Structure 1
Amino acid sequence: MSEGIDYGKLMHRAMRSLIQNVLGEVARTGLPGQHHFFITFDTTHPDVAIADWLHDRYPEEMTVVIQHWFDNLDVTDEGFSVTLNFGDSPEPLYIPYDAIYTFVDPSVEFGLRFENSSNDDDEDYLSEVEEDGDVPEAPLAENVVPAEDEKRDAEIVSLDSFRK
């Protein structure tokens, strides 16, 4: 029997489930209104599948944008696959939910941030995109954004303040 309830792990699972539900709805009905997503993920995760040239260019992490042009969005219980446009070259990607560091929808100032396992307490954090935060242009195409720029536009809120 365990020592107690692991709220951090439960919150982690719930936040990943939220991403799955949102992407599943988009796969069925498309992106509504001005919604779009910036998804930063760990390119070293063993289940991530990206082209070799993308992995060479982004050896540790990469941020993709799901907005104007995307195709073949397929959402499963473990992750999602999507084809994105990189300089007029469509590339299929597979991203497991466990590889995601951030999921941001700047159109409604919503974001989730997952700390990687190298963090001492391995806690999940919510992040809120600031109202005046500009989203940087993608260097390669509309589907890639430097992860460092995205992080500067977010405020981290620790869940520790809600614990007793």
Structure 2
Amino acid sequence: MSRRIDYGNLMHRAMRSLIQNVLTDIQQNGLPGEHHFFITFDTLHPDVELADWLSDRYPGEMTIVIQHWFDNLDVTDEGFSITLNFGENPEPMYIPYDAIKTFVDPSVEFGLRFETQEEDEDEEDEVEEAPMEEMAEEPEAPPTEAEVVSLDQFRK
């Protein structure tokens, strides 16, 4: 058996590291300018921690917005915890990087999409940089079971 360079896995780790670096900077310095994030993640991932009512409301996938109001952002090597406001109810959550499906910063037209190949369970997740036209449309798409939650309405 010959040794191979696993570019897919290397890219996967590099893109997760990029998200960790961005969130660490936000934790330390706050959001600069117009930057904000739409992060879609797998609510069924075994390490995701959500309030029961949120996991019931979003069975499978959820998109959060990190923009005007967030608290207790704590970034680790495995994921991040954050408190977000849902209808005047602050809710803490933990999201491991491996649960993230998309990471978008529309202010600079940057987006990442992490895709899992379900056909071959031995394969690692694959990552691709998605075209911004496709990514930018997602938050404005008609709501399905999970929808983008705008935190603007909770801003004081």
TM-score, length basis structure 2: 0.83
Q: What code does the residue aligned with 1:9 have? A: N
Offset of residue 125 of structure 1: 1.1
Which residue, 138, 150, 153 being the options, matches 1:142?
150
Q: What code does the residue aligned with 1:95 have? A: I
Superposition pairs for residues 76-95 of structure 1, below 5 Å?
76-95=76-95
Q: Deviations over 1:23-55 (max 9, x none)?
A: 000000000000000000000101000000000
Distance in 2 between the 1:102 and 1:129 partners?
12
1:55 aligns with 2:58: no
Distance in 2 between the 1:82 and 1:31 partners?
14
Alpha-carbon distance change, 35 to 111 in structure 1, aligned in 2, over 3 angstroms: same
Q: Deviations over 1:89-118 (max 9, x none)?
A: 100010000000000000000011100241
Residue aligned with 1:24, SS? helix
Superposition pairs for residues 62-141 of structure 1, below 5 Å?
62-118=62-118, 120=120, 122-130=125-133, 133=136, 135-136=139-140, 141=149
Q: Where does the alignment leave 5 or more consecutive residues of structure 1 unmatched?
A: 144-164
Distance in 1 between the 2:126 and 2:76 partners?
24
Runs (4 or more) in structure 1 with deviation over 4 Å come to 119-122, 137-141
Distance in 2 between the 1:108 and 1:140 partners?
19
Does the CA contact (< 8 Å) of 2:65 and 2:149 recur in 1? no
Q: Which has the higher contact order (CA 8 A, sep 6+)?
A: 2
Distance in 1 between the 2:15 and 2:28 partners?
20
How many residues matched?
A: 143
Offset of residue 136 of structure 1: 3.0
Residue aligned with 1:11, SS? helix
Superposition pairs for residues 22-33 of structure 1, below 5 Å?
22-33=22-33
Q: What code does the residue aligned with 2:103 have? A: F
Q: What code does the residue aligned with 1:136 have? A: E
Does the CA contact (< 8 Å) of 1:39 and 1:63 recur in 2? yes
TM-score, length basis structure 1: 0.79
Does the CA contact (< 8 Å) of 1:87 and 1:140 recur in 2? no
Q: What code does the residue aligned with 1:5 have? A: I
Residue aligned with 1:127, SS? coil
Distance in 2 between the 1:119 and 1:109 partners?
31
Q: Which residue of 1 aligns with 2:13?
A: 13
Q: Where does the alignment leave 5 or more consecutive residues of structure 2 unmatched?
A: 152-156
Offset of residue 130 of structure 1: 2.2
Q: Deviations over 1:111-160 (max 9, x none)?
A: 111002415564211113229x46439968425xxxxxxxxxxxxxxxxx
